[in-house]
């Protein structure tokens, strides 16, 4: 029935700050950026390689996330990487605080977390 995940939608509190984070720091590519006047909202479509992955939205006065990360709903966003040490080093050099690398006891995969500008947990998992 389903073939793949089409995209993940994220609502941010500071559009320019989040746009810079996802584009300049994480390296996602802009597909399309639209300002929707009727909603006073931006919608930014982002790709990873040639794959559409994230819709970044800004809405005036959206409520903050209730807790980290155990609020109901989306728990975190996860990206796969080939070299976890390299990605952690690159993020750290760009001023992003990254948690210590851990090993998943079930899959034995190496992984860690960091946060976007609004505190959304982002996981990186080594393939």
pLDDT in tens, 79-98: 999 999 999 999 999 999 99
Least confident range from 5-9, 26-30, 41-45, 46-50: namely: 5-9
Residue 42, C-beta contacts closer than 8 angstroms, at least 6 positions apart:
15, 19, 33, 34, 35, 36, 56, 57, 58
pTM of the entire predicted model = 0.86
Query: Would residue 31 be called left, alpha or beta, if left means φ above 0 and alpha means ψ between -120 and 50 degrees?
Result: alpha
Q: Could you report how far apart the first and last alpha carbons of the chain are, in Å?
A: 26
Give the pair of three-digit tokens for residue 107. 């899959």
Give the pair of three-digit tokens for residue 61. 């006065």
Spacing of C-alpha 76 from chain mean position:
8
């Amino acid at each position: 029935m389903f073939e793949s995940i089409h995209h993940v939608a994220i609502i941010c509190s500071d559009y320019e700050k989040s746009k810079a984070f996802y584009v300049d720091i994480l390296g996602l590519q802009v597909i399309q950026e639209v300002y929707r006047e009727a909603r006073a909202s931006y919608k930014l479509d982002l790709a990873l390689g040639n794959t559409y992955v994230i819709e970044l939205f800004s809405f005036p006065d959206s409520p903050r996330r209730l807790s980290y990360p155990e609020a109901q709903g989306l728990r975190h966003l996860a990206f796969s990487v080939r070299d976890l040490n390299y990605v952690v080093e690159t993020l750290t050099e760009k001023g992003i605080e990254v948690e210590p690398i851990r090993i998943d006891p079930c899959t034995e995969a190496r992984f860690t977390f960091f946060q976007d500008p609004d505190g959304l947990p982002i996981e990186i998992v080594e393939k």
